[in-house]
Amino acid sequence: MSPALLNLVFESTLETLYMVAIAGLISAALGIPLGVALYTSRPGQILERPVLNNVLSIITNVGRSVPFIILMVAIIPLTRLIAGSSIGTNAAIVPLTIASIPFVARLIEGALNEVGPGLVEAAQAMGATPLQIITKVLLPEARGGIINGLTITVVTLISYSAMAGTVGGGGLGDLGIRYGYNRFDPMVMLVTVVILVVMVQGFQSLGDHLVRKSDHK
């Protein structure tokens, strides 16, 4: 591989990491509260709001059912509004984030659902407010499940980011398509895939390690 091409591989790796990191952080920041809202507004839960729960649930399902490639082009006007442009790496972050918020929310909801109802009840018996139950009982007790969910999100983001080339976002997936596929360079294809595999492996191991460390069960 030529030095120019190597440089391109390096830059693409950084672009992928950048997209995944920013999209991951924002979707966690918005997806975790949404997941908490989805869980606590369920009937029989501490902030029972059946109508709100239905609305949130429908929005989340819609968000999750639109294929990523379609979502990316469908929200171009919104992307332009937020990122200032509809092409480029920053522009790719907008659809990545929007696609992963409902994804994170459902995973968080699932993680909270694993917390025993007896713990919430015990906290209620101690006179805890709903906010205290969320911050002192639900989130800490679900920590392992939450980290697990975020790990899955990061891995999914890495795979979604391969489609960012569609809007000129760059990244490893884009490189693989342009050089590996369109220019018939199997070496580039192999290198990008190997880097992606290593990246996924690394994030998964990190996530598993954090889950083990936080788990006292």
Closest listed residue to residue 150, CA positions, set 27, 14, 7, 12: 27
Q: Which two tokens stand for residue 117?
A: 């109802």
- List the interface residues with other proteins, window 157-176 (CB under 8 A): none
Q: How far is the CB of 139 from other proteins (least distance, A)?
A: 9
Options 23, 96, 105, 137; binder of other proteins; rule CB under 8 A: 137
Piece of the chain touching other proteins by CB under 8 A; list 33-41, 42-50, 180-188, 209-217: 209-217
Q: How far is the CB of 136 from other proteins (least distance, A)?
A: 7
190 vs 211: CA distance, rounded Å: 31
Q: Which residue lies nearer to other proteins by CB, 75 or 137? A: 137
Residue 141 found at the interface with other proteins (CB under 8 A) = yes
Q: Which residue lies nearer to other proteins by CB, 123 or 167? A: 123
Options 143, 152, 155, 168; binder of other proteins; rule CB under 8 A: 143
Identify whether the C-beta of residue 151 lies closer than 8 Å to the C-beta of residue 203. yes
Q: Which residue lies nearer to other proteins by CB, 140 or 202? A: 140
Q: Which two tokens stand for residue 85?
A: 């442009």
Sequence-ordered list of residues with C-beta below 8 angstroms from that of 40, at least 6 positions apart, any chain = 46, 47, 112, 130, 134, 138
The site for other proteins, by CB under 8 A, has a size of 21
Q: How far is the CB of 120 from other proteins (least distance, A)?
A: 9
Identify whether the C-beta of residue 91 lies closer than 8 Å to the C-beta of residue 167. yes
87 vs 65: CA distance, rounded Å: 24
Q: Map residues 102-131 to x or -, x wherever contact with other proteins holds by CB under 8 A.
A: --------------x-xx-xxxxxxxxx--
85 vs 70: CA distance, rounded Å: 18
Options 67, 84, 140, 202; binder of other proteins; rule CB under 8 A: 140
Residue 43 found at the interface with other proteins (CB under 8 A) = no
Identify whether the C-beta of residue 20 lies closer than 8 Å to the C-beta of residue 158. yes
207 vs 194: CA distance, rounded Å: 20
Options 30, 136, 200, 210; binder of other proteins; rule CB under 8 A: 136
155 vs 141: CA distance, rounded Å: 24
Q: Which residue lies nearer to other proteins by CB, 75 or 138? A: 138
- The residues of the shown chain that bind other proteins, judged by CB under 8 A, are 116, 118-119, 121-129, 132, 136-137, 140-141, 143, 214, 216-217
